[in-house]
Structure 1
Amino acid sequence: MNKLKKYTIMNRALALISLLFVFSFASCEDVVNLDLKTGETKLVIDAEILWKKGTDGKEQTIKISKTAPYYNGSTPKVSGAQVRVENSNGDVFTFNETEAGVYKCTNFVPVLNADYKLLVTAEGQSFTAVEKLTSATPINKIEQKIVPDFGGKDVIEVTFYYNDPADEVNFYVTDYQGPFLIYPEYEITNDEFYNGNEISTRYSHEDMKAGSTLKITHRGVSKNFFNYWKLILEASSANPFLVPPGNIRGNIVNTTDANNFAFGYFRLCEADQIEYLVK
């Protein structure tokens, strides 16, 4: 297993505002005006099919929006799109718009290791992507203890365990959510050195206290999505003034105009989700 990596997904605009806030304290007389270039507006297709263990997986959601400049207070939603997913048997699952930019399906049929194809028509452009639904091993147990953080302060550490399947290569994306977090925190894991063994993943946060509820969503993902998400997380944790390398591309292809690509990644993940009450 590679070294576990934890990331916090922050809105780059908020990161920039935080820097400006620091600058204002550094000099009360000087006004810092930053001339930020605005890139070409792109469609963003957030298409995650998430099959939580213990559910039938029928209800799924796909969101479509547009990229926006740093200083925009909101993300433009895309209405009027046609969204559907097809499986290898030719079954079609239609996603209907329930609110601006939000498309829902209530009869989806998830099948592990089956291939699915996403088809989106939006603003006169057609997009498609193909991916396989990847399985996830269940969380066996959760433990917690008190450990010192990097500064020596005692914090609560929560550890969950799962058995990695033998004789296959597996990749995982885990997110943590709680009342002490503004944004989810993510970890990416693979079984390179622990194939077929029990794997433990640790999480701590200085503001996680007894009585808090920590929601853990542990996904099985494809190798391609793992690599894509790794790039996204590394870019989001970097200098907010930098442009992500190569405008990180997902697996969604514009079949109308290949140069007018959309951001996002069509992925299908089985997941074990647990809400853990911190003691």
Structure 2
Amino acid sequence: MQLKLYDHRFFVQLLLLCWLTGCIDKIPLDTEGMVDLLVIEGSINNQPGPYTITIKRSGDFSEDQLAIPDPVTGAQVRIVASTGESSAMSEIDPGIYQTDDLNFRGEIGKSYHMEATLADGKTYRSLAEELLPVPPIEQVNFGTIKQEVLGDNNVISEEDFIRFSVDTRIPDDGKRHYLKWNFTGEYVFSEIGDPSVPLKPVRRCYVPDNIDLNKIVIFSGGDGARKELTKELLVKDLDNKFLITYCFHLFQQSLTPGAYAFWEKVEALVNRSGSLFEVPPGRIDGNIINPDEPDEEVLGYFYATAVDDVRFFVQRRDIEDVVIFNNCNNADPELLALCLNCLLVTNSTLEKPPYWED
């Protein structure tokens, strides 16, 4: 299965901008010199390409400015291996570049960096990142839990959630290992019968679910000792997406120490409680530089990773002793339109994925 890291494309940039502009806590910041920064983000892995690099400018987030990112177009971009081979990249959308050579593929043991020359002639490159091996996924687990939720009128109630975790084995190879997990989902959305059209068939749509794009799950450890690791990945609402079948896509990635340090700071930023007494996360330094102007501040990170991936299906019959409400029983007119025509659900399709298990 080809890995698509679309969640990184805008995610890192948004987090960095939030950190710089203080959108998590309303704390005055000195924004002098923090205007129109370049943001470069991307990765290469050992699964078939193409691979993607995104180049944007942060926009003006000085006082009274909105800080809307602008795509950087017309750049010449390529990914280069330590052994000399490379692939040029074409701009498929404003500021989004993909490798041209479909035979160009990341290999374990090689190092990779990106190079970008902008339309104004400025050149940027990342530090080299080694593509390290990743241990295989042993098993994906799930179970239901109850958690207290603060609802309307400040009333606390217990609601059902589903929790996913992964089992993996850290090898006893004398090295410290750094891992990251990405995940996406898909679910079946079934129409209800339309009383005004009795003979109309009821259709099923297949809908992608981005889950929680702000969820950062990483691990550092091993130090040479074999370790059986169970890592909690996600706690998710047990809603009508689980009425029929839910498909959980999990990607387990290797990281270099530098990439891990970057994501560790991003994780600290995302998980901040907002307390005035909390120690703020350190500066989120990336690995992108301007060789001709070393003092120029550039945001973002380019990394290399090996990937092991798995699909895990949850059927409604697998979830016991839990009531899942069908939102299509709601009389809301806007929701009713979706229930009568599942193609109105964002990004839905009637085409059943070839790997789907009913």
TM-score (norm 2): 0.61
Structure 1 position 124 matched with structure 2 position 121: yes
* Equivalence map 1:149-228=2 (5 Å): 149=147, 153-167=159-173, 168-178=175-185, 179=209, 181=211, 183-192=213-222, 195-209=225-239, 210=242, 211-228=245-262
Task: Write the distance in 2 (CA, Å) between the matches of 1:48 and 1:121.
Answer: 18
Structure 1, unmatched stretches of 5+, are 1-8, 21-33
Look up the match of 2:194: none
Judge conservation of contact 1:67–1:76 (CA < 8 Å) in 2.
Answer: yes
Judge conservation of contact 2:181–2:250 (CA < 8 Å) in 1.
Answer: yes
Task: Write the distance in 1 (CA, Å) between the matches of 2:161 and 2:88.
Answer: 46
Give secondary structure in 2 for the equivalent of 1:59: coil
Give secondary structure in 1 for the equivalent of 2:237: coil
Structure 2, unmatched stretches of 5+, are 1-10, 150-157, 186-208, 316-358
* Equivalence map 1:53-132=2 (5 Å): 57-68=48-59, 72=66, 74-107=68-101, 108-122=104-118, 123-128=120-125, 129-132=127-130
Aligned match of 1:135 in 125, 129, 133? 133
Judge conservation of contact 2:43–2:302 (CA < 8 Å) in 1.
Answer: yes
Q: What's the offset of the Cα at 1:19?
A: 8.8
Q: What's the offset of the Cα at 1:145?
A: 1.7
Judge conservation of contact 2:172–2:225 (CA < 8 Å) in 1.
Answer: yes
Judge conservation of contact 1:127–1:252 (CA < 8 Å) in 2.
Answer: yes
Task: Write the distance in 1 (CA, Å) between the matches of 2:148 and 2:139.
Answer: 26
Task: Write the distance in 2 (CA, Å) between the matches of 1:240 and 1:40.
Answer: 27
TM-score (norm 1): 0.77
Q: Which amino acid aligns with 1:233?
A: E
Q: What's the offset of the Cα at 1:182?
A: 5.3
Judge conservation of contact 1:180–1:208 (CA < 8 Å) in 2.
Answer: no
Q: What's the offset of the Cα at 1:195?
A: 3.6
Q: Which amino acid aligns with 2:227?
A: N
Query: Which of structures 1 and 2 has the bigger CA Rg?
Result: 2
Look up the match of 1:42: 37
CA 1:170–1:200: 2 relative to 1, 3 Å: same
The aligned length equals: 254
Task: Write the distance in 2 (CA, Å) between the matches of 1:215 and 1:202.
Answer: 15
Looking at both structures, which has the greater relative contact order when contacts are Cα pairs under 8 Å and sequence separation is at least 6? 1
Q: What's the offset of the Cα at 1:86?
A: 1.7
Give secondary structure in 2 for the equivalent of 1:137: coil
Deviations 1:54-109 (A, max 9, x none): xxx23111111111356748521001111112222211211121221111114223
Task: Write the distance in 1 (CA, Å) between the matches of 2:23 and 2:287.
Answer: 31
Task: Write the distance in 2 (CA, Å) between the matches of 1:18 and 1:119.
Answer: 32
Task: Write the distance in 2 (CA, Å) between the matches of 1:180 and 1:278.
Answer: 16
Judge conservation of contact 1:175–1:184 (CA < 8 Å) in 2.
Answer: no
Aligned match of 1:263 in 299, 305, 314? 299
Look up the match of 1:230: 264
Look up the match of 1:276: 312
CA 1:92–1:274: 2 relative to 1, 3 Å: same
Give secondary structure in 2 for the equivalent of 1:205: strand
Q: What's the offset of the Cα at 1:45?
A: 0.6
Q: Which amino acid aligns with 1:275?
A: R
Give secondary structure in 2 for the equivalent of 1:146: strand
CA 1:69–1:213: 2 relative to 1, 3 Å: farther
Q: Which amino acid aligns with 1:59?
A: P
Larger helix fraction of residues? 2
Q: What's the offset of the Cα at 1:158?
A: 1.8
Q: What's the offset of the Cα at 1:175?
A: 2.2
CA 1:182–1:75: 2 relative to 1, 3 Å: farther
Q: Which amino acid aligns with 1:130?
A: A
Q: Which amino acid aligns with 2:91?
A: E
Q: What's the offset of the Cα at 1:186?
A: 1.8
Judge conservation of contact 2:46–2:105 (CA < 8 Å) in 1.
Answer: no
